[in-house]
């Protein structure tokens, strides 16, 4: 009888001793994440990179297109922040990295008319921009691609349970919004406003329902008195074994000085895809 008690106590003690080891194992698995940012406008990225380092504890490597690493595989995410031309070697390296299981985070003007001439990039994203040569002119909803520097940009939370746009993100007042997935009913959705930013209009999806929508944008164009409500300010798309995540903000350093916006980028790096997503 005594021997059985001793054996039971040994088993219990071994299990109790094992518990800290199990938890330590979980902690040790959270290795330092390494992020690559490919950019051609440094002021905004300096703000974002500092946030990722200080708040996310990440190693952040910032390069331009002339100094790309030969191997993207060590990076947990490759962030694109490219206003001008997307060079062919960059385009191919990003696509190859993502299809093999990487994560490509597309920020702000990385979807813009400067990339419309690329052979593969927009097909890879599932995006089309119509009439980019006329994009500075007023446009109608569903018409040609448009952009404009605006005093206030309003973002709308269309996916209030998703980690990327909600974890440690403080949304503001609820506003009326009608999702652009026609037909949809108007509802009240949490919002965020950014001052002195830029809006992009009529990003057209070419991939049916492959994207998971995160955010919409709401913008009134006083040039032609048109109200835009478009579910295009943030989305996720599966690409091969990897993921593409798009987030609209980033026009000015002040966009990333808003911690809610930088937190979304940090969340996009850290997000773990669930099997049903």
What is the reported pLDDT for 27?
30
pLDDT score for 157: 98
Six token digits for residue 180: 């652009």
- pLDDT at residue 18 in the model: 36
> Percentage of the chain with pLDDT > 90?
86
Contact 216, 160 (CB under 8 A): no
Model pTM score: 0.88
CA–CA separation, 277 and 274 (whole Å)? 5
- DSSP for the chain, please give it: -HHHHHHHHHHHHHHHHHHHHHHHHHHHT-PPPEEEEEES-HHHHHHHHHHHHHTT--EEEEE-GGG--S--TT-SEEEEE-SS---HHHHHHHHHHHHTT-EEEEEGGGSSGGGTT-SSHHHHHTEE-S-GGGTTS---TTSS-EEEEEEEEEEEES-TT-HHHHTT-----EEEE--SSSS---EEEEEEEEEEEEEEE-PEE-STT-EEEEEEEEEEETTTTEEEEEEEEEEEEEETTEEEEEE---SSHHHHHSHHHHHHHHHHHH----TT-
Nearest Cα to 89, choosing from 111, 74, 67?
67
Q: Which of 233, 245, 273 is nearest to 103 (CA)?
A: 245
pLDDT for 30 equals: 57
Domains defined for the chain, CATH in brackets: 32-270 (3.40.50.880)
- The whole-angstrom separation of Cα 71 and Cα 20 is 37
Q: Kindly report, residue by residue over 235-254, the tens digit of the pLDDT.
A: 999 999 999 999 999 999 99
How do the pLDDT tens digits run along the chain, 277 residues long? Answer: 434 433 343 343 333 333 333 222 233 335 789 999 999 999 999 999 999 999 999 999 999 999 999 999 999 999 999 999 999 999 999 999 999 999 999 999 999 999 999 999 999 999 999 999 999 999 999 999 999 999 999 999 999 999 999 999 999 999 999 999 989 999 999 999 999 999 999 999 999 999 999 999 999 999 999 999 999 999 999 999 999 999 999 999 999 999 999 999 999 999 998 866 6
């Amino acid at each position: 009888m005594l021997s059985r008690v001793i054996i039971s106590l040994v088993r219990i003690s071994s299990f109790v001793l094992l518990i800290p080891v199990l938890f330590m194992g979980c902690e040790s698995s959270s290795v330092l994440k390494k992020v690559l940012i490919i950019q051609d406008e440094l002021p905004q990225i300096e703000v974002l990179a500092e946030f990722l380092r200080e708040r996310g504890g990440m190693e952040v490597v910032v390069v331009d297109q002339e100094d790309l690493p030969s191997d993207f595989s060590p990076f947990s995410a490759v962030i694109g922040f490219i206003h001008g031309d997307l060079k062919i070697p960059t385009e191919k390296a990003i696509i190859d990295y993502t299809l093999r299981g990487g994560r490509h985070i597309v920020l702000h003007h990385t979807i813009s008319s400067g990339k419309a001439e690329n052979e593969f990039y927009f097909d890879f994203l599932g995006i089309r921009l119509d009439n980019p040569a006329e994009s500075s002119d007023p446009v109608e909803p569903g018409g040609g691609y448009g952009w404009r520097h605006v005093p206030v940009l309003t973002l709308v939370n269309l996916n209030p349970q998703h980690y990327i746009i909600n974890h440690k993100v403080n949304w503001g007042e609820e506003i009326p919004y009608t999702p652009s997935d026609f037909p949809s009913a108007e509802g009240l959705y949490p919002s965020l406003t950014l001052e002195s930013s830029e809006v992009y209009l009529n990003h057209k999806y070419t991939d049916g329902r492959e994207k998971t929508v995160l955010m919409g944008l709401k913008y009134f164009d006083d040039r032609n008195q048109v109200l835009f409500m478009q579910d295009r300010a943030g989305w996720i798309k599966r690409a091969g074994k990897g993921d593409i995540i798009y987030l609209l903000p980033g026009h000015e350093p002040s966009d990333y000085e808003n911690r809610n916006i930088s937190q979304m980028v940090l969340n996009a790096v850290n997000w773990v895809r669930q099997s049903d997503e």
